Amino acid sequence: MSDDDTTPAGTNWAGNIHYAASAVIAPTSVDELQRAVTSNDKVTALGSRHSFNRVADTDGVQVTLGAMPAFVEIDESKRVARVAAGLTHAQAAAELDAKGWALANMASLPHISVAGAVSTGTHGSGVRNPSLAQSVVGVEIVRASGDIEAVGADDPSLDAHRVGIGALGVITALHLAIEPRFEVAQTVHTGLGWDVVEERFEEIMSAGYSVSMFTGFGDDGIRQIWTKRRTDRDDPTVDLAALGAVAGVEAIHPVPGSDVAGVTEQQGRPGPWHERLPHFRSAFTPSAGAEIQCEYLLPAADAVDAIANLRAIGAELAPVLYVSEIRRIAADTAWLAPSSERDSVAMHFTFHRDDAAVAAVLPLIDDALAPFDARPHWGKVSSMTPERMHAVFPRLEAFAALADEKDRGGRFRNAFLRAVLG
Contacts with ligand FAD, residue ranges (CB under 6 A): 13, 44-51, 55-56, 65, 85, 107-109, 112-113, 115-117, 119-120, 122-123, 165-166, 170-171, 286, 293, 377, 379
Nearer to ligand FAD, 271 or 286 (CB): 286
Give the gyration radius of the chain's Cα atoms: 20
Nearer to ligand FAD, 166 or 208 (CB): 166
Please report how close the Cβ of residue 195 comes to ligand FAD at its closest, in angstroms.
28
**Cβ proximity of 72 and 84 under 8 Å:** yes
The terminus-to-terminus CA distance of the chain in angstroms comes to 31
Please report how close the Cβ of residue 391 comes to ligand FAD at its closest, in angstroms.
22
Nearer to ligand FAD, 47 or 221 (CB): 47
Please report how close the Cβ of residue 97 comes to ligand FAD at its closest, in angstroms.
19
Nearer to ligand FAD, 50 or 181 (CB): 50
Alpha-carbon distance 400 to 341, whole Å?
19
Please report how close the Cβ of residue 199 comes to ligand FAD at its closest, in angstroms.
27
Inter-helix orientation angle 355-369/303-312, to 10°: 140
- Look at residue 102 and give its three-state secondary structure: strand
Classify the C-alpha dihedral 46-414-384-290 as positive or negative: negative
Please report how close the Cβ of residue 78 comes to ligand FAD at its closest, in angstroms.
23
Please report how close the Cβ of residue 87 comes to ligand FAD at its closest, in angstroms.
10
User: Residue 269 has what DSSP assignment?
Assistant: -
Please report how close the Cβ of residue 152 comes to ligand FAD at its closest, in angstroms.
17
Alpha-carbon distance 357 to 6, whole Å?
32
Closest by CA position to 186, among listed 244, 227, 135? 227
Please report how close the Cβ of residue 289 comes to ligand FAD at its closest, in angstroms.
8
Nearer to ligand FAD, 91 or 293 (CB): 293
Contacts of 51 (CB under 8 A, 6+ apart): 12, 17, 116, 120, 378, 379, 380
**Cβ proximity of 286 and 109 under 8 Å:** yes
Nearer to ligand FAD, 191 or 299 (CB): 299
Alpha-carbon distance 254 to 286, whole Å?
13
- Compute the 3-state secondary structure of the chain and give helix, strand, coil in percent, each to the nearest 5: 30, 25, 45
Closest by CA position to 353, among listed 411, 289, 400? 289
User: Residue 119 has what DSSP assignment?
Assistant: H
Nearer to ligand FAD, 167 or 240 (CB): 167
Nearer to ligand FAD, 119 or 266 (CB): 119
Extended strands (E) in 196-277: 210-215, 222-230, 246-247, 270-272
Nearer to ligand FAD, 145 or 316 (CB): 145
Please report how close the Cβ of residue 243 comes to ligand FAD at its closest, in angstroms.
25
